[in-house]
Amino acid sequence: MENKAALQDAFGRGHDYLRISISEHCNLRCTYCMPEDGIHLTPKPQLMTADEILQIAETFVQLGVKKIRVTGGEPLVRKDAKDILLRLGKLGVNLTITTNGILVPNFIDTFKAAGIKTVNISIDSLDKAKFNRITRRDYFEAVFENINLLLGEGFQVKLNVVLMKHFNDNEILDFIALTEFKKVQVRFIEFMPFNGNDWDKSKLVTYAEILHQMETEFAVNEIQRLEDAPNDTAKNFKIASYLGSFAIISSVTNPFCSTCNRIRLTADGKLKNCLFSNSETPLLETLRRGESILPLIQQNLRSKKPVRGGMEDDAQFQNPELFSQNRSMIAIGG
């Protein structure tokens, strides 16, 4: 039975969007996500089984969750990913996925059977050499072909682009140009500080800098500011005559926490009430004892901070001593 209060935090924000990381593994090694020396992988017995993922997801859906995003690491490398997607697809929620796109051809039918209509693909460069440099792998063509494959199969495709200064900030207009003839939504993401990603403010491409490039290239009447959906993390734009659109996700310079409706479940069954929160609530032991996880969910949400896991001001947010206590991105799933 829906119990909206159970999904509310102390600031009245309702949390109807659950992001589930189903794997800590990945077939890429993106420098801003996977620390140089990799991460200490959680031993298998401490990871959620497919049944446990479904049990926890069902509990959240009964409480009122309306949207579930499957993430990783790279979710599609998990051996039973198809089974998990098909079963989540039966929960009657808006099911979406974030993937690096490499294994997509093996999942088209599964995505359709699971009712997935929107797929987010992580791609930070349209330049093969740069793509290979940042991912430390050679999959550029495959990823680009699979973006076209998804579009051809009628999926809505969103491209997640983490911008970094002196790396791909000179491709902002190329990505916007991509939306002229491709019905994709390009999402420019401000580079965020996490454990092991060598974050530094000097690498940040800000919301204002992205807008500046856009306004320098396009006339005012060509740029449309689209209406943002409620709880949207992105500020949405479109070039009037273009097929696609683009958006900016500015957690660093323009946080959007007042309307946050997101809660995260890590691959080892821990709840994170915020992407930047260092405190987590383990669910698996309680679940495996056959006890209710509802009190843990409520306690976790009631302890949620108003902004960025308690790192309200920039000094706190950009303090390596603080953000290094958090997980690395690969172990959160974005």
Write out the residues near ligand SF4 by the rule CB under 6 A: 251, 255-257, 260, 262, 274-276, 308-309
- CA dist., res. 154 & res. 56, Å (int): 30
**H or E element, residue 68:** strand 67-71
Q: Tell me how far, at minimum, the Cβ of 262 lies from ligand SF4, in Å.
A: 5
State which residue, 284 or 307, has the beta carbon closest to ligand SF4. 307
Q: Tell me how far, at minimum, the Cβ of 272 lies from ligand SF4, in Å.
A: 8
Q: Tell me how far, at minimum, the Cβ of 95 lies from ligand SF4, in Å.
A: 20
- CA dist., res. 250 & res. 236, Å (int): 12
Give the burial class of 159: count Cβ atoms within 10 A of its Cβ; 0-12 exposed, 13-18 middle, 19 or more buried: buried
State which residue, 158 or 262, has the beta carbon closest to ligand SF4. 262
Q: Tell me how far, at minimum, the Cβ of 163 lies from ligand SF4, in Å.
A: 18
Q: Tell me how far, at minimum, the Cβ of 257 lies from ligand SF4, in Å.
A: 3
State which residue, 135 or 281, has the beta carbon closest to ligand SF4. 281
Q: Tell me how far, at minimum, the Cβ of 37 lies from ligand SF4, in Å.
A: 27
Q: Tell me how far, at minimum, the Cβ of 9 lies from ligand SF4, in Å.
A: 9
Q: Tell me how far, at minimum, the Cβ of 232 lies from ligand SF4, in Å.
A: 10
First to last CA, the chain: 29
Q: Tell me how far, at minimum, the Cβ of 119 lies from ligand SF4, in Å.
A: 22
State which residue, 179 or 300, has the beta carbon closest to ligand SF4. 300
DSSP 327: -
State which residue, 20 or 214, has the beta carbon closest to ligand SF4. 20
Per DSSP, the three-state class of 319 is coil
DSSP code string of 200-262: -GGGB--HHHHHHHHHHHS-GGGEEEPPPPTT-SSEEEEETT-SSEEEEE-TTTS--GGG--E
- CA dist., res. 92 & res. 23, Å (int): 23
Can you tell me which residue has the tokens 């943002």?
Answer: 228
State which residue, 238 or 308, has the beta carbon closest to ligand SF4. 308
State which residue, 218 or 256, has the beta carbon closest to ligand SF4. 256
- CA dist., res. 253 & res. 259, Å (int): 16
Q: What is the 3-state secondary structure (H, E, C) of 260-318?
A: CCEEEECCCCEEECCCCCCCCEECHHHHHCCCCCHHHHHHHHHCCCCCHHHCCCHHHHC
Closest among 146, 125, 106, 111 to 30, alpha carbons compared: 125
Can you tell me which residue has the tokens 């440099």?
Answer: 133
State which residue, 235 or 262, has the beta carbon closest to ligand SF4. 262
State which residue, 35 or 193, has the beta carbon closest to ligand SF4. 193
Distance from CA of residue 177 to its chain's centroid?
23
